[in-house]
Amino acid sequence: MTTGIDSAGGTTPITEVPQSSAARQIFRMLWRDKLAFAAAIFLVLMVLCAVLGPLMLEDQATRQNLRGRNAPPFDFSRDWLFWLGGDTLGRPLLARIIVAAQNTLMVAAGAVVCSLIIGTTLGLVAGYSGPRTSQVIMRFADVIMSFPSLLLAVIVLYMLSPSVGNLVIVLAITRIPVYLRTSRAEVLEVRERMFVQAAQVMGASGRRIVFRHILPIVMPTLVTIATLDFAFVMLAESSLSFLGIGIQPPEITWGLMVSQGRPYLTTAWWQSFFPGLAIIMTTLSLNLLSNWMRTALDPVQRWRLEIARKKK
């Protein structure tokens, strides 16, 4: 904003408006940004697929069906599961995509949550403790950052088995530095703020200051990054599966489906195309949502979501 209500005071006018419930306020702000709203709905749908899909469609997704071999998409005379076509073994693509949502989202969610928790904890420690501890942690982050994630994947997947859990470990390790660096940088800034000093003057312990005063301030930024990172991790998992060092058949993920369809690109393009589309739609939704969150959480930009769009 070029000019505030009053540049001298720099304070916002006191809003003595009765506070509507937080959930309703969020909903209203989401409604203002139609793209973000659509993205949120799509993501809810995907989560439903991930939770319920394998329960309901496991059979259909794995049953081979000679008549459905390489069935082209958009043939609406067939069963609805074949609307996106069938694969080389005649399994319905739509059903497989829905079932694969579980692995795909679970790996990404697991990796994001793990790296968020570990990275943030290390970042808080590095930011609030003395220079020596901080240096050790930062060098550790450097090592992880420069460690090729492919090599890590191969190591873990050869030593252990290429399961969902192990893939989560690999991806989580590679993403730790993101949260570590962000939270450390934020802590270094927030710890200089006056309310932290006020807590110190009252005798608050280091742990109390970090968890009660600093973490809640840093959290929104981290959640925004995590949303974005969810998309990134999904892409990374897909790449690994695509290269053949991720999830192994008969388990499926979207990335693996793209890879499996690759030999038939010229004859049955839909086998790679639709799983890829599922990936791009999901990551796009996450990006849109993260973008919206950044605006919603920034007190300077927030008004854009709060006032009605002016009629031109």
CB of 102 to another protein, least distance (A): 18
Please classify residue 266 by burial: count the beta carbons closer than 10 Å to its beta carbon, then call 0-12 exposed, 13-18 middle and 19+ buried: exposed
CB of 217 to another protein, least distance (A): 7
* CB atoms closer than 10 angstroms to residue 273: 17
Choose among 311, 305, 310, 309: nearest CA to 31. 305
The span from the CA of 187 to the CA of 218, in Å, is 7
CB of 35 to another protein, least distance (A): 7
Q: Which is nearer to another protein, 65 or 221 (CB)?
A: 221
Q: Which is nearer to another protein, 60 or 260 (CB)?
A: 260
Q: Which is nearer to another protein, 80 or 303 (CB)?
A: 303
Q: Which is nearer to another protein, 83 or 273 (CB)?
A: 273
Q: Which is nearer to another protein, 10 or 250 (CB)?
A: 10
CB of 171 to another protein, least distance (A): 15
CB of 3 to another protein, least distance (A): 4
Q: Which is nearer to another protein, 15 or 77 (CB)?
A: 15
CB of 66 to another protein, least distance (A): 26
CB of 133 to another protein, least distance (A): 15
* Structure tokens, 269: 């393009």
First to last CA, the chain: 20
Q: Which is nearer to another protein, 63 or 212 (CB)?
A: 212
The span from the CA of 241 to the CA of 244, in Å, is 5
